Amino acid sequence: MPSPYRALFAAPGSAAFSAAGLIGRMPLSMMGIGIVTMISQLTGRYGLAGALSATLALSAALLGPQISRLVDQYGQRRVLRPATLVALAAAAVLLPAAHHGWPDWVLFVCAAGIGAVPSLGAMIRARWAAIYRDTPRLHTAYSFESVVDELCFIFGPILSIGLSTRWFPEAGPLLAACFLAAGVLWLTSQRATEPPPHPRAGRGGGSALRAPGLQVLVGTFAATGAIFGAVDVVTVAFADEQGHKGAASLVLALYATGSCLAGLLFGLVRFAGAPERRWFLGICAMAVSMIPFLLVGNLPSLAVALFLAGLSVAPTMITTMGLIEQHVPRAKLTEGMTWVSTGLAVGVALGSSVSGWVIDASGARAGYGVPVVSGAVAVAVGLLGYRRLSRPVTRREGLHEHHSEREQRHGERRTGLGEVRPEAAGYGEDRDGENRPVA
């Protein structure tokens, strides 16, 4: 591992919470595609499979920001465990309901309940921000977590689709639920690195979504999410038409592999200039990379197209996380990150649902028109809202609320600007402004 990434884990407890986040985020790539594969295996109805995946995504979009807002107010441990229990209970009913052919409305209710799964990615990034805020290492940390996301999307679909097609249809979603339970329990047991709650954050200023810059990011990523949702569903159907449905997991893994490699390299570079410009260029690159899908005629050509398309994903996501830090008050950071995930979830719901209908009506190749249109919409929304991203908010809001409590708990000192430096956690500033371990 390159030294900038290795240096991240000098922070006590960072390796443990990042590993817990990896396990807990596996359902992000396994549950939706697992449901699509399970339902298509059991019923052959891609429309129903896409609609259930869309229901899960929409439910997560509605519940995710509310769960994260509670996390900002009350802490990760107190909120994540009850929310996870709801999601696991819904999954425990969905699997036998699908196996025994229960009414469709039962499947939809269960899919909606699984949407209570918390945004583990936002929780892990909030822990990194608490350690490396206002230092160059935070960019590296966000890059590393984007790579972790892509690792989930490399191995998650392989496990989910592979188990559901070769073992039994419910195997993919079942394993996803096990990963969720293990990851959340491990993460919430790590109290030392948990960001301190801000009980007053939910009482004043309203939702983090009131920030104009965040609105642009969420709107754009709703269109971007439609790309991801459509690509997943259409790729499974395309592989099925080619007579190699099980190969869909390997092909989708190449999409994530391209993103993973690009994210690793992106995290090693220190950029100058406006981050919103890099962000918009990333959105444009994602949109353009969808066009070759219209020309693919077999699985090898599709694999190449997906790998190339993935190269623009992680850099765009990494830049987005940096922009959220500029446009959302610190006391609402977890909620702000989750709103972007919500935008993605809404897009995934639309993309998976619409592409399922297109596949049923016209076949898998026609379904690749959905991500092409979605990419164009993402560019249009990003262009219209670009000026809002050049006006960041004053990010000190919410810091004063519990400084006495934080100082008592962590022995932190304050600079003349009111910033908090985590010296008692084993860090001090070097001459370059980075946090480094102290004896």
For 302-319, what is each residue's pLDDT tens digit?
889 999 998 988 888 888
What does the alpha-carbon distance between residue 213 and residue 305 come to, in Å, rounded to a whole number?
32
Per-residue confidence (pLDDT) for residue 89, from 0 to 100:
93
The predicted pLDDT at position 180 comes to 92
> What's the CA gap between 302 and 372, in Å, rounded?
14
DSSP string over 219-256: HHHHHHHHHHHHHHHHHHHHHHHTT-GGGHHHHHHHHH
Q: State residue 391's pLDDT score.
A: 62
Q: pLDDT at position 13, please?
A: 85
- At residue 340, the pLDDT reads 80
Looking at residue 100, its pLDDT comes to 82
The pair phi, psi for residue 135, each rounded to 5°, is: -125, 160
pLDDT at 425: 38
Say what the pLDDT of residue 272 is. Answer: 66
**Rounded-to-integer distance, Cα 76 and Cα 316, Å:** 27
**Per-residue pLDDT, 393:** 56
CA-only gyration radius of the chain, Å = 21
Q: What is the pLDDT of residue 179?
A: 92
> What is the C-alpha separation between 80 and 85, in angstroms, rounded?
9
Q: Which among 138, 137, 40 has a CA at the least distance from the CA of 356? A: 40
Q: How far is 326 from 389, CA to CA, in rounded Å?
A: 9
Give mean pLDDT in consecutive 10-residue pieces for the chain, a chain of 439 residues.
72 87 85 82 78 82 83 85 92 87 87 86 85 78 81 78 81 89 91 78 60 82 87 84 77 83 79 77 91 85 90 86 74 76 79 83 83 91 80 47 39 36 37 37
Which amino acid is present at 257?
Answer: T
Q: Give the pLDDT of residue 415.
A: 35
pLDDT of residue 203: 53
Q: Write down the pLDDT at residue 201.
A: 52
Instruction: Note the pLDDT of residue 182.
Output: 93
For residue 15, which phi and psi values (nearest 5 degrees)?
-65, -40
Fold (CATH) for 14-192+207-394: Growth Hormone; Chain: A; (1.20.1250)
- Say what the pTM is: 0.68
